[in-house]
């Protein structure tokens, strides 16, 4: 295939409820939509998922646009690409900027799936026809409000509850949830809010049978996560710390985690995500699919990758209506009894609402 034109759209999508974590609040999500067209007129879609501020990783929506426009798209435009796995290698001379790389790589995968007349899930190697879904609940002003949200999500059928924790809202909160809801499948995500000095406090959490604790320590600290994991019975799951297969290899070597939260965008695309999935299966590291509050295109990519056989724990890919009043794909993504059915339609598996995007866009950049 050969890309002849790439269009970048940016738009703001208002979330139904602000998403609050230890690193900040997201209310109006900047969504970057990538429309890639190949020489035969086939269109593939990708999504840039970075936030406006560099507080989760170093990328932002603006750095994504800059990297795409000035470096990444010029590398792939008008170049013969036999298979999307090549894109990862083509981008090797560009340091990091994983979410930017992933945004265009996703569109190329979508085109490849259509050209080979298969679903994106099948093109990636996925085998499941439905995937298991949990939900990530942001910090809430009061325990009572959090309980209400948990109750609602359990009733909706989500298969596990992930809560956010931060210093001052941790052990007491987990204890209160256990008292109220008993032995539900529960995990906690700290988004790097603690240091190794907090070991005694984090050790307290061992009492509450969490499925895992996600990213307790710094985003770049595999060594201290290894020290912590040796002292905890609760499995550590790494999120921010994993940006590549090489990072996972280092984490396994050091013993920094027992679980990996895999996000396509955080590791630079579908090819790298697949490789990490395969390596985790080989090494006996549990792996599941995380989320970036994606709109429909990113969400469809997450569903496709989650259909790989090694994703054995519920992912964070909640239904579109949990986040958005109106999604950019049709039909929107629906979670029923805690499952999403993997689409059997060619490519992405959903129709992208281009006219809605055109109408919502505050920027449109055409590169050809």
| Complete DSSP assignment for 226-291 | HHHHHH-SSPEEESTT-SSHHHHHHHHHHT--SEEEE-TGGGTSHHHHHHHHHHHHHHT-EEEE--
- For residue 171, the minimal CB distance to Mg ion (Å) is 19
Cα 83 to Cα 55: distance, rounded to the nearest angstrom:
34
Half-sphere exposure of 90 (CA within 13 A, CB side): 23
Cα 159 to Cα 351: distance, rounded to the nearest angstrom:
27
| Stretch touching Mg ion by CB under 5 A, among 40-48, 63-71, 211-219, 338-346 | 211-219
Which residues does residue 186 pair with via DSSP β-bridges, in sequence order? 161
Is 101 a residue of the active site?
A: no
Cα 179 to Cα 173: distance, rounded to the nearest angstrom:
10
Cα 197 to Cα 82: distance, rounded to the nearest angstrom:
50
Is 263 a residue of the active site?
A: yes
Judged by beta carbon, residue 86 or residue 198, the one nearer ligand OSB is: 198
- For residue 11, the minimal CB distance to ligand OSB (Å) is 18
- For residue 15, the minimal CB distance to ligand OSB (Å) is 10
Cα 342 to Cα 364: distance, rounded to the nearest angstrom:
31
Judged by beta carbon, residue 239 or residue 247, the one nearer ligand OSB is: 239
Q: Under rule CB under 5 A, how many of the chain's residues touch Mg ion?
A: 3
- For residue 215, the minimal CB distance to Mg ion (Å) is 5
Task: Give residues 182-201 in contact with Mg ion (rule: CB under 5 A).
Answer: 189
Partner touching 56 among ligand OSB, Mg ion, none, CB below 5 to 8 Å by kind? ligand OSB
> Contacting Mg ion (CB under 5 A), which of 221, 239, 247, 316?
239
Cα 19 to Cα 166: distance, rounded to the nearest angstrom:
14
Residue written as token pair 């596990």: 160
Judged by beta carbon, residue 35 or residue 169, the one nearer Mg ion is: 169
Cα 38 to Cα 44: distance, rounded to the nearest angstrom:
8
Which residue's CB atom is positioned nearest to ligand OSB?
291
- For residue 288, the minimal CB distance to Mg ion (Å) is 11
- For residue 327, the minimal CB distance to ligand OSB (Å) is 13
Residues that bind ligand OSB (CB under 6 A): 19, 56, 136, 189, 191, 239, 290-293, 316, 318
Partner touching 47 among Mg ion, ligand OSB, none, CB below 5 to 8 Å by kind? none
Torsion-angle region of residue 97: left (phi > 0), alpha (psi -120 to 50) or beta? left
Phi, psi of 57 (to 5 degrees): -125, -175
Judged by beta carbon, residue 270 or residue 318, the one nearer ligand OSB is: 318
Phi, psi of 38 (to 5 degrees): -100, 175
Partner touching 216 among ligand OSB, Mg ion, none, CB below 5 to 8 Å by kind? none
Partner touching 134 among Mg ion, ligand OSB, none, CB below 5 to 8 Å by kind? none
Partner touching 318 among ligand OSB, Mg ion, none, CB below 5 to 8 Å by kind? ligand OSB
316 touches Mg ion by CB under 5 A = no
Cα 174 to Cα 366: distance, rounded to the nearest angstrom:
49
Catalytic residue among 29, 164, 166, 274: 164
Catalytic residue among 101, 162, 166, 263: 263
Active site amino acids: 164, 263
Residues that bind Mg ion (CB under 5 A): 189, 214, 239
């Amino acid at each position: 295939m050969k890309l002849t034109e790439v269009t970048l759209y940016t738009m703001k999508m208002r979330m139904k409820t602000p998403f609050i974590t230890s690193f900040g609040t997201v209310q109006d999500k900047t969504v970057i939509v990538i429309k890639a067209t190949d020489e035969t007129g086939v269109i593939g879609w990708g999504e840039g998922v970075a936030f406006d501020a560099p507080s989760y990783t170093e990328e932002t929506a603006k750095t994504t646009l800059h990297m795409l426009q000035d470096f990444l798209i010029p590398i792939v435009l008008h170049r013969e690409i036999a298979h999307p796995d090549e894109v990862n290698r083509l981008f090797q001379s560009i340091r990091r900027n994983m979410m930017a790389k992933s945004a265009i790589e996703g569109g190329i995968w979508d085109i490849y799936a259509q050209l080979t007349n298969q679903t994106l899930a099948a093109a990636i190697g996925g085998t499941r026809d439905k995937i298991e879904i949990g939900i990530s609940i942001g910090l809430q002003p009061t325990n009572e409000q959090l309980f209400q949200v948990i109750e609602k999500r359990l009733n909706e059928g989500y298969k596990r509850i992930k809560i956010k924790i931060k210093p001052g809202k941790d052990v007491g909160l987990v204890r209160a949830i256990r008292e109220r809801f008993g032995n539900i499948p529960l995990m906690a995500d700290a988004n790097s809010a603690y240091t190794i000095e907090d070991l005694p406090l984090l050790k307290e959490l061992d009492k509450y049978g969490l499925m895992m604790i996600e990213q307790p320590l710094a985003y770049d600290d595999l060594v201290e996560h290894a020290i912590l994991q040796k002292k905890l019975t609760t499995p550590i799951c790494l999120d921010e710390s994993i940006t590549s297969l090489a990072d996972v290899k280092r984490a396994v070597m050091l013993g920094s985690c027992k679980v990996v939260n895999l996000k396509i965008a955080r590791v630079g695309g579908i090819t790298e995500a697949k490789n990490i999935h395969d390596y985790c299966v080989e090494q006996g590291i549990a792996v599941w699919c995380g989320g970036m509050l994606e709109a429909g295109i990113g969400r469809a990519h997450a569903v496709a990758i989650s259909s790989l056989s090694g994703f054995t724990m519920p992912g964070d890919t909640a239904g579109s209506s949990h986040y958005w009043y109106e999604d950019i794909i049709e039909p929107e993504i629906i979670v029923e009894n805690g499952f999403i059915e993997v689409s059997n339609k060619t490519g992405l598996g959903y129709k992208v609402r281009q006219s809605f995007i055109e109408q919502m866009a505050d920027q449109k950049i055409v590169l050809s």
